[in-house]
Amino acid sequence: MASPFSRKAPNGLAGLTIEISQMGALTEAQLNDALNAFERRDIALAQKVRKNDERIDELHLQIEQNAVSILQSERTDASALREILTTIKIAAELERVGDLAKNIAKRTPVISATPEIHVVSGVVRMGRRSLLQFSDVLDAYGSKNLMQAEAVWNADDEIDEMNNVLFQDALRAMMADPALVTACTHLAFVAKNFERVGDHATNIAECVYFLLTGDQLVGDRPKGDETPTTAVSI
Amino acid sequence: MKETTSSIIRKAAQRVRTRDYLWANAIAAGILLVIGVSGFVKAWWLPVLAWCCFAAALLVRFRVSASRAWAEPVEQVFDTEIGAQKAEIEALKLAHGIVEAMPEPLFILDVHGFIENANPAAREFVTSNELEHRHFTSVLRAPIVYDAVNEVVDGKATRVVDFTITGSVDRYCKAFVTPLGEASRPDRVLVYLRDLTRERRIEKMRVDFIASASHELRTPLASVLGFIETLKGHAKSDPEAQEKFLGIMQAQAERMQRLVSDLMSLSKIELHEHVRPRDTVDLCEATNELIESVKPITEQSNTSIEFFCDCGPVVNIVADRDQILQAVQNLIDNATKYAASGDRTDTSRVEVRVGVGEAPGHPSKDACRIGDTLPQLVGRQDGNLDAFGYVQVRDYGAGIPRHNLPRLTERFYRVNVEQSRRTGGTGLGLAIVKHIMNRHGGGLSIESAEGEGTSFTCYFPMAESQAQAAE
């Protein structure tokens, strides 16, 4: 067994990979906490999520700086260059997902003050689905699993579909009872945030695909967001 | 090693002594030659004789002294050294054996967070076989644990943290992070995980059970109580009304019974959802047997069930046989109900298919899908498409409206509440199927098009032996 001190602290590309997986883990935990806080109406947990977002931002900055310094100091070959570029892109996506988690946490206290309606459980289910997509794509990146990345890319339509249904439900609930307008508006935004998380997961899947093959993931990605054109008549 | 060492020592000793012997002889010869030449001794043969005696004596000494005497002390030193080493190796082996035998995940990390050692439980926990020399964060996404590792490396005492691993089945764990070696400046960190999913699930199960029971049992109970009041009151002497009310009460009581038994089995499945089954079941044989047993019932409702085996006669999956039968039975029950709901007037038809790999998709281009796709499942298992078997239940009924699909596996969700009540549904059937699939590391995929029926597909990971044969 090699002495632990014989190994130098990882830097360069290896260090960057560790930092990005740390950032991924942190973002996933934030999203999970935000979802749990929303589900259980746990305002203290929501507060924690809002505070912890700083760490993701810090890591994002650190990753960007390290990537730039690697590009400046080392002669990088094509594959390493690809890896660094992917890292920068994924870090940006993760940062956005962190912001979405924070936004959900921000809305949680407002929603917690409103009566519980059936739309909430739908939003929670959708949140779980998008979290699963996000976890899957992080797994795909960590284990360099091309098939899993493609599967994530292809499965986003389900979240879109859930969002469509929830949007309609929210509209109907609002029309039925104007007292629910506050709750439903915020719920629609939370659902939209989860839908965006799903989109970021597909973006990361595209990055993983590019990292592993050098090609862009092209073709028709199943898309199903219909909320911009949805209207419910009385 | 001991043999070679002692023979090396012996050979070296022999070389040195041979040289010494030759030198001694040469020196003696020189001295005697000087004595002979100086004329101090008259007889020339005397020095020669003396030299011969000297040489012979030395030779005897050379022969008699075994080189063993030389090797022995050295060998002794070696023996103690090797003994000490052996004991140390034994101790290490014991420690390693204990680590390996621990039923709960154990990681040993170096100060930079790279994994030096992980036991089989750990490998199973993160479903990866190559853990050594990988960084901890790339193996387990638990930032809270990694923060604790960093704190311990910086000289903090043992830390205990709770964390959750998200996925198709959430897992709740506790991590004990302990320094190994000097506490203020450890050279390694031990991470010991305890899976508390079961405990958390029991807790959640109780809450869910009470919530669902009170929510769903209230209506039928109220109705039964209402009828009892009527029977005691103004229907007291009306046998016709009594007959009718008792019939309704029986139906309601039966519904409650079904509800309770469904709730019980759902709770039982949920409790073990994070524990994979280990038995091997032939999906073809099990499905076939089930179909034979439900045929008499479905024939009464004018539904014919057709069974297709899309591949070889045996599809071995890793499964819990009773649960598989329950899942397929629930799907067939559903399909039979839906098949009858279509506009067709002829005998309705339900198809059941068993096969390997990707199941046939819904033929309609308007079909909507919900649930896990096969590539998603395969991706999570790190296998290939042929490592999954499927059973698909397809009906040709009215289909499920698109906006109802996402909520389909929610408990107590019914697309058509009235129809469900009439046909004796509890609203738990698909929820049960979904949880069974989760437990098996598989997935449920639902495709439907309005007017063209619905197909429900369950994907199961195959038993290893057959998955390899398929490759």
Which is nearest to B50 in space by CA: B37, B63, B31?
A: B31
pLDDT, tens only, A124-180: 999 999 999 999 999 999 888 899 999 999 989 889 989 998 999 899 999 999 889
Q: What is the structure's pLDDT at A7?
A: 43
Q: CB-based contacts of B458: which residues, under 8 Å, 6+ apart?
A: B327, B328, B331, B390, B391, B392, B433, B437, B442, B443, B444
Say if residue A18's pLDDT is above 60.
Answer: yes
For residues B400-427, one letter each, b for 16 or more C-beta atoms within 10 angstroms of the residue's C-beta and e for the rest, the string is bebebbbbbbebebbbbeeebbebebbb
Mutate to test the interface with B, among A5, A94, A154, A161 (most CBs of B within 10 A): A161
Q: What is the structure's pLDDT at B311?
A: 79
| ipTM attached to this prediction | 0.83
Radius of gyration over every alpha carbon of chain A, rounded to an integer in angstroms: 20
Strand, helix or coil for residue A10: coil
Residue by residue, pLDDT tens for chain B (471 residues) are: 556 777 777 788 788 888 888 898 898 888 888 887 777 777 777 778 888 888 888 888 777 765 666 677 777 888 899 999 999 999 989 988 988 898 999 999 988 889 988 999 998 888 777 888 888 888 888 899 999 999 998 888 889 999 988 887 888 999 999 998 877 888 889 999 998 988 888 888 788 778 877 777 888 888 889 888 888 888 788 888 888 888 888 888 888 888 888 888 888 888 888 888 888 999 999 999 999 988 888 777 778 888 988 877 788 899 999 999 999 999 998 888 877 665 555 557 889 999 998 888 888 888 888 888 888 888 887 778 888 999 999 988 888 888 888 888 888 888 887 777 777 778 888 999 999 999 998 999 999 988 888 999 999 998 876 555 554
Which is nearest to B139 in space by CA: B172, B116, B159?
A: B116
Mutate to test the interface with B, among A21, A136, A166 (most CBs of B within 10 A): A21
When CB atoms are compared, the residue of A10, A136, A164 closest to B112 is A10
| φ and ψ of B124, to 5 deg | -70, -35
The residue in chain A having the minimum alpha-carbon distance to the alpha carbon of residue B403 is A165
Residues from chain A contacting residue B405 (CB–CB below 8 Å): 161
What is the number of other CB atoms lying within 10 angstroms of the CB of residue B20?
Answer: 12
When CB atoms are compared, the residue of B116, B375, B403 closest to A165 is B403
Inspect the interface and report whether the beta carbons of B407 and A150 lie closer than 8 Å. no
First CA to last CA distance, chain B = 46
Mutate to test the interface with B, among A136, A150, A172, A227 (most CBs of B within 10 A): A136
Q: Take residue B23 and report the two structure tokens written for it.
A: 């030198």
Burial of B213: CB neighbours in 10 Å, binned 0-12, 13-18, 19+: middle
Say if residue A5's pLDDT is above 70.
Answer: no
Inspect the interface and report whether the beta carbons of A4 and B112 lie closer than 8 Å. yes
- Location of structure tokens 């590009």: A71
Q: How far is B257 from chain A (nearest CA, A)?
A: 26
Q: Take residue A188 and report the two structure tokens written for it.
A: 């629609």
The residue in chain A having the minimum alpha-carbon distance to the alpha carbon of residue B369 is A158
Q: Which amino acid is at B370?
A: I
CB distance from B378 to chain A under 8 Å? yes
Rounded Cα distance between A60 and A89, Å, is 10
Q: How far is B380 from chain A (nearest CA, A)?
A: 7
Rounded Cα distance between B106 and B122, Å, is 6
Residues from chain B contacting residue A119 (CB–CB below 8 Å): none
Residues constituting chain A: 234
- Location of structure tokens 């080493």: B85
Rounded Cα distance between B273 and B131, Å, is 25
Strands laid side by side in the B453-461 sheet: B303-309, B348-356, B388-395, B453-461, B443-449, B368-371
Q: CB-based contacts of A197: which residues, under 8 Å, 6+ apart?
A: A31, A97, A100, A101, A130, A131, A133, A134
Alpha helix segments (H runs only) across chain A: 12-40, 43-73, 78-112, 118-142, 146-154, 156-176, 181-213
CB distance from B370 to chain A under 8 Å? yes
Q: Take residue B429 and report the two structure tokens written for it.
A: 């059937």
Q: How far is B112 from chain A (nearest CA, A)?
A: 6
pLDDT, tens only, B193-207: 998 988 888 888 788
Residues from chain A contacting residue B117 (CB–CB below 8 Å): 1
Rounded Cα distance between B348 and B341, Å, is 9
How many Cβ pairs within 8 Å bridge chains A and B?
112
Q: What is the structure's pLDDT at B39?
A: 73
Helix A156-176, helix A118-142: angle, nearest 10: 160
More confident residue, A91 or B346: A91
Burial of B112: CB neighbours in 10 Å, binned 0-12, 13-18, 19+: middle
- Location of structure tokens 């260090």: A15
Rounded Cα distance between B311 and B331, Å, is 21
Helix A156-176, helix A146-154: angle, nearest 10: 30
Q: How far is CA A202 from the centre of its chain?
A: 9
Q: Take residue B318 and report the two structure tokens written for it.
A: 């890793």
- The strand pairing partners of B160, in sequence order, are B176
The answer to whether A43 touches A108, Cβ cutoff 8 Å, is yes
Average pLDDT, chain A: 88
Inspect the interface and report whether the beta carbons of A151 and B379 lie closer than 8 Å. yes
Which is nearest to B291 in space by CA: B254, B247, B335?
A: B335
Residues from chain B contacting residue A158 (CB–CB below 8 Å): 369-371, 406
Residues from chain B contacting residue A18 (CB–CB below 8 Å): 113, 135, 137-138
When CB atoms are compared, the residue of B113, B143, B167 closest to A29 is B143
The residue in chain B having the minimum alpha-carbon distance to the alpha carbon of residue A145 is B379
The answer to whether A205 touches A137, Cβ cutoff 8 Å, is yes
Q: Take residue B355 and report the two structure tokens written for it.
A: 């096969």
Residues from chain B contacting residue A17 (CB–CB below 8 Å): 135, 138
pTM of the model: 0.79
List C-alpha distances in Å: B444 to B45, B278, B401. Answer: 113, 20, 18
Q: How far is CA A129 from the centre of its chain?
A: 11
Rounded Cα distance between A53 and A30, Å, is 8
Inspect the interface and report whether the beta carbons of A147 and B167 lie closer than 8 Å. no
The residue in chain B having the minimum alpha-carbon distance to the alpha carbon of residue A146 is B379
What is the share, in percent, of chain A residues with pLDDT greater than 90?
Answer: 62
Q: How far is A13 from chain B (nearest CA, A)?
A: 13
